[in-house]
Amino acid sequence: MAENIVILTGAGISAESGLGTFRDKDGAWAKFDWRKLASPEGYGEDPIAVHDFYNARRRGLLKAEPHGAHQALAQWEAAHEGEFLLVTQNIDDLHLRAGSKNLIPMHGELFKARCSACHHVYDWREDLSIESTCPRCQIRSGPRPHVVWFGEMPLEMERIYRALESCTLFVAIGTSGTVYPAAGFVQDAKAAGAHTVELCLEPGEISVLFDEAIYGPASEVVPHFVETYLKSRA
């Protein structure tokens, strides 16, 4: 019987594409205060600083490319007969560009903007500022990054929990397991009887919860894991 697979990725899977992580020694939260730059309160207090932070990341993403780990996950999904859901905490579009289809960006998307007044969500690859106007309701300084900040509800939680309830294989890739509710998904998968695997550079806060772990850079570990999995079921 084909497995029901849920994959959770974090900033570590995009590190080798040149996009920074959050909690590594030179990570974003080591340099910036997430309360000021990734929370509704911070945006209310200083929207210019928040727009500058996301404009810089949006410009960086325009220059980034997916690497072998993103591509291996898309190939795995294409070859898999059972259910396959990829949940990413990342706001980059590298999984999308690598060809992943059944994909939930639970913390939003950097290449989208959202109007705080009419909630219109639209593709947006340029800078945003307090002068930006919503293309639908025309309100000035309505548009914000379509990103889930701390204290805000992640996206498509119902769909994620439904997939975890019937999951037989859960693989967490490149995440430190420090941000909830994503960091709790491994427990939901275990409760469903799934086999749980951590693929990461080094052990993190929830590594003890996994049945299996392989440590190393995602660009090496992920393609090897996928190849071994597919061979074992050929």
Number of residues that bind ligand BV8 (CB under 6 A): 37
Q: Does 66 bind ligand BV8 (CB under 6 A)?
A: no
Dist CA 7 CA 19 (whole Å): 20
Stretch that binds ligand BV8, among 14-22, 76-84, 123-131, 185-193 (CB under 6 A): 14-22
- 110 close to 57: Cβ distance less than 8 angstroms: yes
Annotated catalytic sites, by residue?
Answer: 107
Does position 56 bind ligand BV8 by CB under 6 A?
Answer: no
β strands within the chain, DSSP E: 5-9, 84-88, 103-105, 108-115, 121-123, 143-147, 169-173, 195-200, 212-215
Letters for 124-163 (x = contact with ligand BV8 by CB under 6 A, - = none) are: -----------------------xxxxxxxx--x------
The residue among 167, 168, 125, 157 whose CA lies nearest residue 143 is 125
47, amino acid identity: P
Dist. CA 125–CA 198, nearest whole Å: 33
Distance from C-alpha of 220 to C-alpha of 23, rounded to nearest angstrom: 21
202 binds ligand BV8 (CB under 6 A): yes
Q: Is residue 210 close enough to count as binding ligand BV8 by CB under 6 A?
A: no
Q: How far is the CB of 53 from ligand BV8 (least distance, A)?
A: 8
Q: Give 55's contacts (C-beta < 8 A, 6+ positions apart).
A: 127, 128, 129
Binding string, residues 82-121; x marks residues near ligand BV8 by CB under 6 A: -------xxx---------------x--------------
Segment interacting with ligand BV8, rule: CB under 6 A, options 123-131, 175-183, 187-195, 206-214? 175-183
Q: Which stretch binds ligand BV8 (CB under 6 A): 74-82, 134-142, 176-184, 206-214?
A: 176-184
User: For residue 231, what are its two tokens?
Assistant: 């061979």
Using CB atoms, what's the residue nearest to ligand BV8?
12
State how beta strands 103-105 and 169-173 pair: unpaired
- Burial of residue 97, with CB atoms counted within 10 A of its CB: 0-12 exposed, 13-18 middle, 19 or more buried: middle
Q: Which stretch binds ligand BV8 (CB under 6 A): 44-52, 58-66, 178-186, 190-198?
A: 178-186
Provide the residue type at 28 as one letter.
A
Q: Contact between 22 and ligand BV8 (CB under 6 A)? A: yes
175 belongs to the binding site for ligand BV8 (CB under 6 A) = yes
Instruction: Name the residues that contact ligand BV8, by CB under 6 A.
Output: 10-12, 15-16, 21-24, 27, 38, 89-91, 107, 147-154, 157, 174-176, 178-181, 200-202, 204, 217-218
